[in-house]
Structures are given as structure tokens and as C-alpha cells.
Amino acid sequence: MTTSLRPVLCATLLTLAATAVHAQGPTPAPQPQLDLERATLQAGRQKISVQLARTPQQRQTGLMHRRSMPQQEGMLFVFDQPGVQCFWMKNTLLPLTAAFVDDDDTIVNLANMQPQTETPHCSAKPVRYVLEMNQGWFKRHKVTPGMQLKWLQTQPAATTGTRQ
């Protein structure tokens, strides 16, 4: 190929690539997941409504792309087995606090997490649940490690009749 044709070929290929991307239309903006099963928990004297992230996909998406969250709401990540759980804030726009909760529903430790960071925040020991709330919620309501969460209600009822 002659050197005089290279710039023309490159320009043509770039134009074709741009046309193909434009023909597919704009990529839709990522949407937060808002349609998960819900539960009502009690932490100290506070009742909170939480979305339940039970599947790997639900847990992976978590609270990503959410621009706001009511103060008495959060997300509870439910794992099949206890393990050391580590969370980060990629694509998460809200400052959050994670409460790492063991099998007997006791808060093991808390971690404040900053939006859109990839710093890992891990449980101090194996846990089965992680509760994310707006940052400052636990402190305002004096909910601390060692306290137990209470399960009040799950909506809709889990098909197995247990909270898993």
C-alpha cells in the first residue's frame, strides 16, 4: 500500500466506526435498582426500610447510580454463607456507611465510605449481611457495633418462608 493511501484509508475506517456507533443510538444512562424485595428492620429504636440485594447481580449493582436515598431507607446485602465481605463505592454517588452484620444479626463493625472510590472496606470477621445507610445515620441514631438488628417484616414474603 502506498503511503498516500494510508491517511485516506484511516479516515474512512474512523468514519465507518463513528457511523456504526451513532447508528446504534446513544447508550442509555445507567439506572439504579429500585424494584428489589424489601424488609423492615429495627436498629436500636429506629425502624428502617431496606431493599434486599440477594443475588450476585443485585449485590454487584447495590446502590450504584442512586442520586438520593430517604434517611430511613437503606440496602441490606444478603450472602449465602458468612465470609469476610469487602465493599467499595465504584459508580456510587452517595456517601454511605456499611454495617457488617453476623449470623446472629449483631453489628460487627461500621465503615464510612466516600462516593466514587475504589478503596475496599471490609468486615472485621466473617459476616452474612451488610447494611448500607446514608453516612451519618448510624452515628445520629447511636447505633453501634455490638447492637443487634431485628427483622420485623419482609415484603413480599420470601417464597421459602425464611429470610435467607
pLDDT in tens, the chain (164 residues): 545 555 555 455 445 455 444 445 566 777 888 889 999 999 999 999 999 999 999 999 999 999 999 999 999 999 999 999 999 999 999 999 999 999 999 999 999 999 999 999 999 999 999 999 999 999 999 999 999 999 998 775 344 333 43
Q: Check: CB of residue 56 under 8 Å from CB of residue 85.
A: no
Phi (first) and psi of residue 32, to 5 degrees:
-70, 155
Would you kindly state where each structural domain of the chain is located, as residue ranges? 38-155
CATH number of the structural domain 38-155 = 2.60.120.1140
**Full-model pTM:** 0.78
Residue type, 155: Q
Phi (first) and psi of residue 106, to 5 degrees:
-95, 135
